[in-house]
Amino acid sequence: MYLHVGNGETVRREQVVGIFDLDTSTVSQQTRAFLSRAEKDGVTVSAGEDLPKSFVLLAPEKEKPTFGKKNPRKRQDSVRFLRISSASLRARAEMPVWTDEGDD
């Protein structure tokens, strides 16, 4: 299933490692160092021109088998800075997934 993270973008729920509030999580020196390193490595995506309220850490998508060919591209985690609050994202992530199966 997918999680809408704003700006018309969705991500796979399975990829979400964590949802973090920028105001509270960046108090830690370790978190600031992590985000700085992610930015230097080029694995961050900005929320646009507005100040972000939260960030989401995403695991890399599972790659399809290449059947004997090595994939030279390095898989990396990514950090998405978002204008949506971490509480709103958490509520979206916890919403039940409805299906039509079994409604006979």
Distance (Å, rounded) from C-alpha 60 to C-alpha 76?
6
pTM exceeds cut of 0.85:
no
pLDDT per residue as tens digits for the range 52-89? 999 999 998 776 555 555 554 555 679 999 999 999 98
| Residue boundaries of the structural domains of the chain | 2-62+76-94
Read off the pLDDT of residues 4-57 as tens digits, 9 standing for 90 and up. 888 788 888 889 999 999 999 999 999 999 999 999 999 998 877 889 999 999
